[in-house]
Amino acid sequence: MSTDNLHTPAERLIEVRGLGKMFTLHNQGGIRLPVLRAIDFDAARGECLVLSGRSGTGKSTLLRCLYGNYLATEGTIRLRDTSAEGAPWVELTQAPEQRILHLRRHVIGYVSQFLRAIPRVSALDVVADPLQQRGTSHEEARARAAVLLERLNLPRRLWDLPPATFSGGEQQRVNIARGLIGGHPILLLDEPTASLDADNRAVVIDLIREALAEGRALIGIFHDEAVRDAVATRLLPLQPATAIA
Ligand SMILES: Nc1ncnc2c1ncn2[C@@H]1O[C@H](COP(=O)(O)OP(=O)(O)OP(=O)(O)O)[C@@H](O)[C@H]1O
Ligand SMILES: [Mg+2]
């Protein structure tokens, strides 16, 4: 297990101030598309912040900014580097690539809506990988991956196969297991239950609650109201950026 200090529930792990994101569409005459504007929030250990708002308001864009995939065009995103002595704040929008990669390995995890399948790598190894990257042995990481896949009801006959040909719901469960296994203190979830049946949604709700009880901070998008109500500790409604004066 990681050595993260997970015992102070009120500790803030992420702080966002005045965040804005504008896309410039270079292949369409440089049209500028404002998506996020003046976003402010904090998230602390044990909190599950749920982004809400109509389709196209920038929920996924916000998660990508927090993960360092998209560069914010204004404002600041600060994360605590819990892997470093004293857990210093890091300004993500100024961080060099190496620092961002380090944060992704140890501090911030991301469950995208669709699994990015890696050819020829088995489901078990896809799930075990983030834990191995954090220094856990191959055998131990695979054993932990097996526990998660078992809980998520992924049939054993699939464990040694690459997920590329799995059904949407099977891939989504592999993706969730991969996101949760690393024990990252901050976890971003983009509609992790969209393709799941009711039984597996209930498993994911349990896993999310366990992550919160461990003192992790979650920021997620959940279209399913029942899931949202079961896990959210706070809502962050997003408005269309153009509608803001
Ligand atoms: N890389 C990009 N380049 C240009 N525009 C983009 C890019 N990514 C997102 N957008 C635009 O930003 C807006 C917000 O998209 P985003 O995917 O964040 O919405 P969303 O709130 O997650 O919607 P949904 O609920 O449908 O998933 C959309 O109008 C989209 O077209
Ligand atoms: Mg989205």
Name the CATH topology of 45-71+98-243.
Rossmann fold (3.40.50)
The rounded Å distance from CA 66 to ligand 2 centre is 14
The rounded Å distance from CA 137 to ligand 1 centre is 38
Instruction: State whether the beta carbon of 33 lies less than 6 angstroms from ligand 1.
Output: yes
Which atom of ligand 1 is closest in space to residue 33's alpha carbon? 5
For atom 9 of ligand 1, which residue has the closest CA? 61
Q: What is the residue-wise DSSP string for 148-207?
A: HHHHTT--GGGTTS-GGGS-HHHHHHHHHHHHHHT--SEEEEESTTTT--HHHHHHHHHH
Which atom of ligand 1 is closest in space to residue 51's alpha carbon? 21
Distance separating the N- and C-terminal Cα atoms of the chain: 47
- Predicted confidence (pLDDT) per residue in 139-174, tens digit: 999 999 999 999 999 999 999 999 999 999 999 999
In contact, 188 and 108? CB cutoff 8 Å: yes
- Predicted confidence (pLDDT) per residue in 176-215, tens digit: 999 999 999 999 999 999 889 999 999 999 999 999 999 9
Chain centre to alpha carbon of residue 202? 19
Q: What is the residue-wise DSSP string for 50-112?
A: EEE-STTSSHHHHHHHHTTSS--SEEEEEEE-TTSTT--EEEGGG--HHHHHHHHHHTEEEE-
- Measured distance CA(185)–CA(107) in Å, rounded: 6
- Predicted confidence (pLDDT) per residue in 88-119, tens digit: 999 999 999 999 999 999 999 999 888 887 78
Please give the pLDDT value at position 116. 82
- Say how many CA atoms lie within 13 Å of 58 toward its Cβ: 24
pTM to 2 decimals?
A: 0.92
Instruction: State whether the beta carbon of 23 lies less than 6 angstroms from ligand 1.
Output: yes
Over residues 76-98, the mean pLDDT reads 95
